[in-house]
Amino acid sequence: MFESLVTEDLKTPADEAAVPALVPGLAESWSVSPDGLVYTFNLRQGVEFTDGTAFDAAAVDYNIRRMWDTEAPQYDIRAAGQTVFLWQHLDDIQIVDPLTVQLILSEPFSPFLRVMAQGGSGSTGMISPTALKTYGDDIADHPVGTGPFVFEERIRGQRVSLVRNENYWGKKAELDRVVFRPIPDAAARIASIRNKETDIIAVPSPDSVANLKDAGFQVVEAAPPHSWYLTPNMNEEPMKDHRVRLAISLAIDREGLAEYILRDTVTPAASVQAPANPGYEEHPENFRHDPELARELLAEAGYADGFTTTLETSVDGSGQIMPVPMAQYIQQNLAEVGITVNLKTYEWISYISHYNSGLKPGVGMAQMSWGMSTPFWLYITTSSDLASPAGPNAGRYSNPVLDAAMDKAIGASNEDEANKHWLQANAVASEDLALIPIVNDKSPYIVSPQVEGFALANEEWYDLTEVSLNHD
C-alpha cells in the first residue's frame, strides 16, 4: 500500500543477489552532495495517493515533518519514535520545486538511503496528507498510500484485504485481490494450504517442510538479514560480566537447535551482525558449542555453583520462528552448565511493547528477532545513544569502543570506507557479546503449485506485484 522515496529490488531472488540493490521508488532519481550533507530527490511526475491527493514535494515535506519536526502541527510522537534513528541527523527540508525536495543533514550519515528503504518498524512509506489530516490517530484504520494495492477491509484477528490499484503509476499488479490472514498455529497454517484455503504461508512447522515439498508444494527460502538473538540485561549483575555472557553463548548448541528442533530451516549464527548486509562477517570463536569452557568461565566469574535468571520470550510473532521451543532448548543447554533459567512468556503484541520499554530488574535476558540489509542495524540495537527508553537498545548495552567504530562508519564519505568500519564494529560486538545471536532464519515460505512469480530476495519482506495464480 505504501512506498518510500528509495526502495530495494525485491524481484531479484536471493541466489542472484546477496544484498538487494537500492532502486528508485517514489523518487525516480537522487543525488548526494560531495560533503554528504545534501540529498536531492527528483520525484516521479503524475503520481497520486489512492484518495486522489497529489504526491509531490509538499507531500514529502508533510510526511517527514510528521516524523521529525517537533514544531510541525502534524508531528506524531509515535511515528517519531519508530524512525528516530533515521532522522537524527536531519537538519532541514527544502522544497526546491513541486517535484524536487532536498534533505539537508547536520553531518554525514552514510546509511541514510539504505535505512530509508527499510520496511517494517521504521518504515518511511509516504501517507496521504489528506488522510492524515482527516483521520488523525485513526489513520491505521484508513491507510492511504501510493502503492500497487489499496486497502479494502480489516476484520481484526481474521483478515486484511487489499485490492489492485487500478490507477497505479507503475506496472499494475497481476492479482486483483490479496488477503492476509493471521493463523498463529503452525498446524493450522499447514492445514490451510493443504485445503487450498491459502496460497502462501510463512513460518511452516519445520517438521512439515520436507513432506510439503514431496506433496508438490513449492518451498521458497532465502538468507535474509534476520537474526534470532538473546539480549542480555546489562543492568543485571551476572550479565555485566563478559565471562558470563561468553559462558552462556558457549553453552548453547546452535547446530543441535538448527538440526533437531528447526530441521535446518535456519543456520547457526556466527556473528552479532545479521547476514545479508555488507557489515556481516563470521566470528565463530564465541559461538561454538563448548560447555566445558562455559563452566570454567562461570567458575572464574564467581558462579561455580551457577545462578538463576529469567529469560523472557514471546509465544509467537513476526520473525519469531518457534520462540518457546527454542527458549526451552536454550533452557536445557544452560542447565547443563549450572544456569537455571525461568521462562516468562508473552503474546507477541504485548511482548514487543514490553521489550521496547527496556528489560526490567530481575530479567537476565530477552529474545528478539530482527535485522536489516544495512549494517546500521547494529547501531540501532547496541548504541549507547539509543539505550532504552531513548531507543531500541533494550538491554542498555554501552561500549565506547563499539560506539566509536560505528560513529566512524556512519560518518564515512563513501561506502567502502563505511563498510571497513562496520566490519570493525561487528568484530567488537561479536567479541564483547553485545547481543548473543542464536540462529539466522532462512525464512521459508510454502507456496501452492498454482502460484507463479513469487520470489524471495534476501530481505524480510517481498513484492507481490508480479505474482499470479494459474488456475489450469
**Residues in contact with 260: Cβ distance below 8 Å, sequence separation at least 6, in sequence order:** none
Mean pLDDT of the 98-112 span: 96
Whole-prediction pTM value? Answer: 0.84
Percent of the chain predicted with pLDDT > 90: 82
Q: What angle do CA 455, 261, 226 make, to 5 degrees?
A: 40
Reply yes or no on whether the pLDDT at 439 is more than 70.
yes
Q: 116 with 6: CB under 8 angstroms?
A: yes
Mean pLDDT of the 239-243 span: 98
- Cα separation of 183 and 187, whole Å? 9
Dihedral sign from CA coordinates of 224, 353, 383, 240: negative
Mean pLDDT of the 83-105 span: 95
Helix spans in 396-450 (H): 400-410, 415-432
Reply yes or no on whether the pLDDT at 121 is more than 70.
no
User: Order of strands across the sheet with 100-105?
Assistant: 27-32, 38-43, 100-105, 90-97
Helices 242-251 and 323-335, interaxial angle, to 10°? 110
Reply yes or no on whether the pLDDT at 122 is more than 70.
no
39-93 residue pLDDT tens = 999 999 999 999 999 999 999 999 999 999 999 999 999 898 888 888 989 999 9
Task: List the single range of 110-114, 283-287, 315-319, 415-419 with lowest mean pLDDT.
Answer: 315-319
Question: Which of 346, 417, 335 has the alpha carbon at shortest distance from 375?
Answer: 417
